A and B are shown apart, each in its own frame.
Chain A
Amino acid sequence: MRLNIINPAFNTSAWRLLPNRWDFIAFPLIICLIAMGAIGYHQTMAPISVLKTQVISLSPSMLPEYAMRTTLRMLAAMVASLLFTLIYGTLAAKSRRAEKVLVPILDILQSVPVLGYISFTVTFFIALFPGRVAGAECAAIFAIFTSQAWNMTFSFYQSLRTVPRDLEEVSRSFHLTGWQRFWKLEVPFSMPGLIWNMMMSMSGGWFFVVASEAITVGDNTITLPGIGAYLATAIDQRNLHAVGWVILVMTLVILAYDQLLFRPLVAWADKFRLETTSSGNAPESWLLDLIRRTHLITQILTPLGWIIATLARVPLRLPTLGARFSDATSGLVASRPRVSSRAIDVLWAIIVLLGTVYVVYRVIAYVRTGVDLPEVEHVLVLGLITLARVLLLIVLASLIWVPLGVMIGLRPALAEKVQPIAQFLAAFPANLLFPVFVVVIVKFHLNADIWLSPLIVLGTQWYILFNVIAGATAFPNDFKEAAANFHIRGWQWWSKVILPGIFPYYVTGAITASGGAWNASIVSEFVSWGNDKVVAHGLGAYIAQTTAAGDFPKIILGIAVMSLFVTLFNRLLWRPMYAHAASKLRMD
């Protein structure tokens, strides 16, 4: 984890600024489609017997095995995310019609709380593999996948749309087929952004893997051998020693992941940067250096590279999807095909619209069986409470970390030491630390509504810190000197010099932090220690409780409302701020 991996340009969650009218369709469409999948399987498979729960041993000697299994789940989800990214991103970028639907859908998928997917999908996957662990494994992997895939896909899609025209033309003049161009130009070009987003995804993923390994949906209780299940058992048995062990092991796993997987990947991907001038300090990795300098490993890897290269050379012709590029090149085409093309567009729009209306109708009909109007009002109020909690804590975290981050970032020697720690803390699943807080709350009978709140930003506040540090580190020296030369100090220095300077970085960090906070609310507003349950008022607690009770109409309502809040929150607060930062505070 190094300073130079931070690049706000790769932050895709804040990228799409302008809502388009497809968003109004995409939102109900997605929420209802997810809900319908869950409803269908829930209804047909509800009577299935309880899944055999595996016994989790609290012996520390079992932890390495559990850690390994957790890590494998993360890897499996990453592979799935990559496949999804390559296919979905390509479809969205290459076909004009698909793009209109796929991009808003991705945007909404991104707003659905990840733990909400678990509530829905656990039943689905268990039904898919009745009575076997494979179903539960798939549910957990799918949950992690949902935490990783969206921003990777956005990044890839965005890269595909911005492949430089001259490189595009070169590949055309060499008569590369679509398949060859994809591997020779488009994938390499999008590699740096993709890898950066993979790292961010991975960093967020630990939180969800811990949450998804031990979960109860109605009658189905899942415990998958892994770090998360170990923690759940420790909480159940009120074993603080075990909690300590699990924190230690997780720390080691995250560090190993960084050193053995991502550091080498980032250093390797550096060669895909487009600039031909070499940057001052390229990312480095001791492991990659080792691999490159060791003949044996290189020789093992060479055939692998050969296979990939051969595959990429296969002159496979892909069916042309839509006509994004030929539109530009053949401007003189007669107008008739255009008319028919427009007619297809309209037809396409109508199909999508009708489909949306249908699923919305079906889901509303189902939800009405278990939910009445006062319940909806109640849930909206809970949503407002959680919104207030998220807002307040992001503000509090900003008040603490922005000044500190600035002070650290302006001292390069200190920043170099603090930055990896902040990035590590951001990756560390904060839910491992919850028991420590809960024990204190239970012991002193503290007010849950107040004292559970900090847990919401426990894990995500670090995104604010390390982005602010990165911003302050990148603050141009000339500006510092100009400020000093004109004696600009104190409040004027903060408001006119440094805060606008780091603002784009701050917004990037705050967007990530608030997204994480919404997710965290589901696990942090409803916590337990042994048989003691501590519950705060809020939408997160509502979703957690209805999930535990397996009350599907209410789960759907809760998740739909939370998705709505997250979407509106992003659209009305963060994106305008991001647009402001991108247009007004640019330094060039």
Chain B
Amino acid sequence: MQNSATTATQEILRVDNVRRGFNKSQGELLVLDDVNLTLKEGEVVGLLGRSGSGKSTLLRIIAGLINPSGGTVTYQGEPVDGPAAGVAMVFQTFALFPWLTVLQNVEAGLEALGVNPRERRERALAAIDLIGLDGFESAYPRELSGGMRQRVGFARALVVNPTLLLMDEPFSALDVLTAETLRTDLLDLWTERRLPIKSILIVTHNIEEAVFMCDRILVLSSNPGRVIAEIQVPFPHPRNRLDPAFRRLVDEIYARMTARTAIGGKRREIELGTWLPQVSTNLMAGLVETLAAEPYNGKADLPEIARSLHLEVDDLFPVAEMLQNLGFADVQEGDILLTAAGKKFADFGTQERKVMFADHLVRTVPLAARIRQVLNERPGRRAPRVRFEQELEDFLSDNAAQETLDAVINWGRYAEIFAYNDQAETFSLEDVES
């Protein structure tokens, strides 16, 4: 059965044991670890993951824009080494050259292929026509709205007749309505087989978008990125987001993506070297309050709360997880529940909340406790930022270390467990002890 399937549908791309990492003093820091995937003809495949899952890195490795530290990418039987022919990419930021008109932008790829000017013009105009841009040929990108710009991005990618279309969060810089229009337009062209493309690989952090567009979804874990689940989407196009089966699948993926934090029913504790997301204390307090109030009364379905608060996965998950880490909430099976402490926190006033938050912060976030401890031990009750940066850089990349430290600084300032002077980059206990 497996054999007959591969012979019937041609394999376009194959990724074997791809690894990507940076060298650190404590060994290699992995962004991607042992990633395997295949793309077959006629498929739309989604790479779903949160920030830090290395999904964009993986896409660029596939495109031949960056090299993997290990493993191989095979495209149409040939190993990928440098930008491969027949692979076109659509960028999150559109990446249109601002000094070229729509037509010139679309023609640029053809010019590079050495297509003669006349054919170039014809093909570019046809692509512009197909994607619904006619009338804008002579406009410069800055004259267009975000949606129109991304259409240029699509036209530029399609005009070179690629075999494989790679899309890096192509709709995430657009507003909700525009994004939906572009998605359905693209899907219409795809299902009507009006595109020369044989397969599409789309990177996204939006679960609904993945279920709406893809035939198959690969879920990537974070830090490092690994494929942790492969989900078939059995629905025919056009899909209805309100269909109960559609919703069930979305819920299921939510559950899988949150499952990682609850291994064997026991919470994974934060360690000193754990990367921490920058989550504002306002967002945490806001979510706790929302959960405590009607209609949730302490328990909510994550996909539902994401929809009603207009939060993307990358916005909501870090908040939910930090609440879980701090012991204010539990996340399981795609649901979020307030703990007893969380409910108390919701009832408290500003000062009481701060005291409670400080208590939980020092208990559950080792870095906060370490800063506090170092300050207490030092005679001047002061310590430079570098001291903690260096400690973190044994475990994290330079960037991640900075982010983590900034996150903890923010929480620590709110909790008033230490003071921090950004100009002098020093921690101290001044103003805090009184």
Residue of A292, A492, A496, A587 ringed by the most chain B CB atoms within 10 A? A496
Known: A478-B93, A484-B83, A485-B88. A585 touches B99 (CB 8 A): yes
Contacts of B63 in A (CB 8 A): 481, 485
Known: A293-B424, A486-B156. A500 touches B109 (CB 8 A): no
Q: Does A417 sit within 8 A of B, measured CB to CB?
A: no
Number of A residues contacting the other chain (C-beta, 8 Å)? 26
A473-503 to B contact mask, C-beta < 8 Å, 1/0: 0001011011011111100100011001100
Contact B95 A492 (CB under 8 A): no
Known: A289-B424, A293-B426, A478-B93. A486 touches B108 (CB 8 A): yes
Q: Which of B73-112 contact A (CB under 8 A)?
A: 83, 85, 87-89, 91, 93, 95, 97-100, 104, 108-109, 111-112
Number of B residues contacting the other chain (C-beta, 8 Å)? 30
Contacts of A501 in B (CB 8 A): 97, 99
Known: A293-B424, A485-B65, A584-B140. A492 touches B111 (CB 8 A): yes
Q: Which of B119-168 contact A (CB under 8 A)?
A: 140, 142, 156, 160
Contact A482 B95 (CB under 8 A): yes
Contact A488 B109 (CB under 8 A): yes
Q: Does B60 sit within 8 A of A, measured CB to CB?
A: yes
B316-340 to A contact mask, C-beta < 8 Å, 1/0: 0000000000000000000000000
Q: Does A372 sit within 8 A of B, measured CB to CB?
A: no
Q: State in angstroms the CA–CA spacing of A496 and B113 once bound together.
A: 15
Contacts of B65 in A (CB 8 A): 481, 484-485
A572-588 to B contact mask, C-beta < 8 Å, 1/0: 00000000000011111
Q: State in angstroms the CA–CA spacing of A496 and B104 once bound together.
A: 10
Contact A487 B109 (CB under 8 A): yes
Shortest B386–chain A CB gap in Å is 10
Contacts of A486 in B (CB 8 A): 88, 108-109, 112, 156, 160
Q: Does B26 sit within 8 A of A, measured CB to CB?
A: no
Q: Does B423 sit within 8 A of A, measured CB to CB?
A: yes
Q: State in angstroms the CA–CA spacing of A91 and B179 once bound together.
A: 51
Find A500's partner among B95, B99, B111 (CB 8 Å cutoff).
B99
Q: State in angstroms the CA–CA spacing of A488 and B104 once bound together.
A: 13
Contact B95 A476 (CB under 8 A): yes
Contacts of A485 in B (CB 8 A): 63, 65, 83, 87-89
Contacts of B424 in A (CB 8 A): 289, 292-293
Q: State in angstroms the CA–CA spacing of A492 and B140 once bound together.
A: 19
Q: Does A271 sit within 8 A of B, measured CB to CB?
A: yes
Contact B98 A585 (CB under 8 A): yes
Shortest A474–chain B CB gap in Å is 14
Q: State in angstroms the CA–CA spacing of A481 and B88 once bound together.
A: 11
Shortest B13–chain A CB gap in Å is 15
Q: Which of A538-588 contact B (CB under 8 A)?
A: 584-588
Q: Which of B383-429 contact A (CB under 8 A)?
A: 422-426
Contact A497 B97 (CB under 8 A): yes
Shortest B373–chain A CB gap in Å is 22
Find B108's partner among A271, A488, A584, A586 (CB 8 Å cutoff).
A488
Contacts of B60 in A (CB 8 A): 481
Contact A588 B142 (CB under 8 A): yes
Contacts of B160 in A (CB 8 A): 486
Contacts of A293 in B (CB 8 A): 424, 426
Shortest B383–chain A CB gap in Å is 12
Shortest B288–chain A CB gap in Å is 26
Contacts of B85 in A (CB 8 A): 487
Known: A271-B423, A486-B109. A584 touches B95 (CB 8 A): no
Residue of B100, B109, B156 ringed by the most chain A CB atoms within 10 A? B109
Residue of A271, A481, A486, A586 ringed by the most chain B CB atoms within 10 A? A486
Residue of B nearest to A581 (CB): B99
A445-487 to B contact mask, C-beta < 8 Å, 1/0: 0000000000000000000000000000000101101101111
Contacts of B156 in A (CB 8 A): 486
Shortest B88–chain A CB gap in Å is 7
Contacts of A292 in B (CB 8 A): 423-424
Residue of B nearest to A478 (CB): B95
Contact B113 A487 (CB under 8 A): yes
Q: State in angstroms the CA–CA spacing of A481 and B82 once bound together.
A: 11
Q: Give me the interface of B with A, judged by CB distance under 8 Å.
A: 60, 63, 65, 83, 85, 87-89, 91, 93, 95, 97-100, 104, 108-109, 111-113, 140, 142, 156, 160, 422-426
7 pairs from A and B in contact (CB 8 Å cutoff): A271-B423, A292-B423, A481-B63, A486-B88, A488-B112, A492-B112, A501-B99
Q: Please give me the 8 A-B residue pairs with the lowest Cβ-Cβ distance, nearest first.
A: A486-B109, A478-B95, A500-B99, A482-B95, A292-B424, A488-B112, A487-B112, A485-B89
Q: Beyond A487-B85, A496-B108, list 7 extra A-B contacts (CB 8 Å).
A: A289-B424, A476-B93, A481-B65, A482-B97, A485-B87, A486-B160, A487-B112
